[in-house]
């Protein structure tokens, strides 16, 4: 199930993929930026850093992917025209990170682990060869995630983060806009590790449902925008 990173890079680049994407909460992303690394759920806990609980945490532990780092090949919020359930902060990571010398083999999922079934063959969960990837990869297929499994739970991204896209929920907390609170926390965290970041306010597609979802679920806004618990 392990695929050579350089070969994966060539296939993705040839299909028009320019960035890997990772969406998360403000608190969890601040932990990434302070360390200059994208980190697995398990690694953040082990390091004593803060992160926002996710609905998939128990599934990750169950299937032995708690220390793996997951990325997408597209901006799911943009593609699906609704908020990303993992959080309002999107890191855009240059695809060239796959060309880093000595990058361990990658794993490419066939379906989101939340859809895995106990006892099913690994071939149902993971792409088994470069040829299979060539034949089956579709840019924008949400289930096909690029997974870093043998990197010690963290991926240095300091030189590869292109931009950060932050959702605007159009809500306030005692007069302070959630967007401003989040952007300030992200900039401060990046400064702690010397990362140079650019934050863009998300521009949604016509008909995007995210504003309806944010306004109807203020608890989720508090959960995903506060930089601390």
Gap between the Cα atoms of 225 and 110, Å rounded: 30
Q: What is the pLDDT of residues 185-209, one digit of tens each?
A: 999 999 999 999 999 999 999 999 9
pLDDT higher than threshold 90 for residue 228? no
State the pLDDT confidence band at 140, using cuts at 50, 70 and 90.
Answer: confident
- Number of structural domains the chain divides into: 1
SS (H, E, C) 11-74: HHHHCCCCEEEEEECHHHHHHHHHHCEEECHHHHHHHCCCCCCCCCHHHHHHCCCCCCEEEECC
Sign of the Cα torsion 82, 21, 32, 30 reads negative
State the pLDDT confidence band at 229, using cuts at 50, 70 and 90.
Answer: low
Q: What is the pLDDT of residues 108-136, one digit of tens each?
A: 999 999 999 999 999 999 999 999 999 99
Host domain of residue 146: 5-225
In the chain, the percentage of residues whose pLDDT exceeds 90 is 95
Distances (CA, A) of 167 to 176, 178, 205, 207: 16, 10, 12, 15
| Mean of pLDDT over the chain | 95
pLDDT higher than threshold 90 for residue 173? no
Instruction: Name the strands in the sheet holding 19-24, side by side, starting at the edge strand that comes first in the sequence.
Output: 19-24, 89-94, 161-166, 199-201
Gap between the Cα atoms of 49 and 46, Å rounded: 8
C-alpha neighbours within 13 Å on the C-beta side of residue 43: 21
Gap between the Cα atoms of 23 and 107, Å rounded: 19
Strand boundaries in the chain, DSSP class E: 19-24, 37-39, 69-71, 89-94, 106-108, 146-148, 154-156, 161-166, 172-173, 176-177, 199-201
Pairing of strands 19-24, 89-94: antiparallel
């Amino acid at each position: 199930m392990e695929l050579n990173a350089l070969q994966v890079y060539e296939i993705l680049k040839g299909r028009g993929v320019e960035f890997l994407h990772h969406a998360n909460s403000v608190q969890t992303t601040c932990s990434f930026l302070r360390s200059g690394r994208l980190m697995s759920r398990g690694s953040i806990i082990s390091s004593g850093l803060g992160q926002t609980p996710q609905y998939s945490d128990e599934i990750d532990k169950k299937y032995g992917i708690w220390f793996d780092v997951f990325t997408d090949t597209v901006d799911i919020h943009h593609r699906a025209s609704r908020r990303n359930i993992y959080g309002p902060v999107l890191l855009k990571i240059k695809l060239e990170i796959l060309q880093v010398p000595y990058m361990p083999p990658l794993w490419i999922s066939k379906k989101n682990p939340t859809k895995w079934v106990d006892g099913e063959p690994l071939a149902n969960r993971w792409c088994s060869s470069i040829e299979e990837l060539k034949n089956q990869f579709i840019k924008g297929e949400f289930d096909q995630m690029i997974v870093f499994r043998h990197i010690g739970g963290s991926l240095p991204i300091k030189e590869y983060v292109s931009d950060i896209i932050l959702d605007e929920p159009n809500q306030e907390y005692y007069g302070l806009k959630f967007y401003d609170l989040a952007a300030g926390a992200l900039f401060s965290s990046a400064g702690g590790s010397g990362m140079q970041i650019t934050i863009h306010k998300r521009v949604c597609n016509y008909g995007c449902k995210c504003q309806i979802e944010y306004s109807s679920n203020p608890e989720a806004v508090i959960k995903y925008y506060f930089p601390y618990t």
